[in-house]
Amino acid sequence: MDDEHTNILLAIDNSLTALTIVLSQADRIIEERHIQGSRPPSEIIASSVSHILSDHSYTINDVTTLIVTVGPGSFTGIRVALAFCKGIRAGTHIALRGVPTLDALAFPFRSMEGYYLAPLIDAKKGEVFFCLYEVQQNTLLRLTEYKAIKPEALIQYVKKPCVIVGNGAVLCERFVVDHEGFIIITQGFNQVSGEALIRCGIERIKKNEPALCEPIYARPSEAEIKYGITIH
């Protein structure tokens, strides 16, 4: 096998508003696609992956590692992407690594030494998915669990100085805007960066962290609430 067909990574995020597919050779991004349309991701994820691979003269058998976001985020979106990746793993034995969506959203800010990071995802129903991180020596130290909170409760969890980012930031802005020590970013970082997702996956592999192949929902689903069942 030639060098161009070694260490090929395929990453998928379907936990937010777009289906994101990233192809890389190690940490060098080959292409990143964000797909939004009238058809649900469950109908196009297989063909979209096939197209990005074939457009660069690869097949699924060239892929050495799959990386997928495992949430929190869209309940259905997480399950669709994770089930798809698990299906590939079962049929090909390609290594699979899960990355928490909030970790990937925080990753681009890992050089902000001395800051806290609060990536936020619009969780609907008047809540945001949240986690707090501290930047230490170009790495992210997670300080809280992944959780769903009311926007007005954010001020109780964050520490200063703090960068607040993600598509849930706009929901919390009015509750922290009058407080000093916060940088609020409401545009430009509302999707998972392909580079961040790839690098998060590579870091988890290098640190020999668990493969993390189960979803992180951060709150019960409608079915769990309505019928009193537990969904894994």
Residues 109 and 215 in one domain: no
Residue 95, domain extent? 3-101+191-227
CATH of the domain at 130: 3.30.420.40
Mind listing the pLDDT tens digit for each residue in 141-168?
999 999 999 999 999 999 999 999 999 9
Q: How many domains does the chain fold into? A: 2
Residues 123 and 179 in one domain: yes
Q: What is the pLDDT of residue 225?
A: 55
Q: What is the pLDDT of residue 74?
A: 96
Q: What is the pLDDT of residue 222?
A: 60
**232: in domain:** no
Residues 171 and 198 in one domain: no
Residues 97 and 107 in one domain: no
Residues of the chain predicted below pLDDT 50: none
Task: Provide the whole-model pTM.
Answer: 0.93
- Among candidates 193, 150, 147, 144, which has minimal Cα distance to 171? 150
Average predicted confidence (pLDDT) for the chain:
93
Q: What is the pLDDT of residue 220?
A: 80
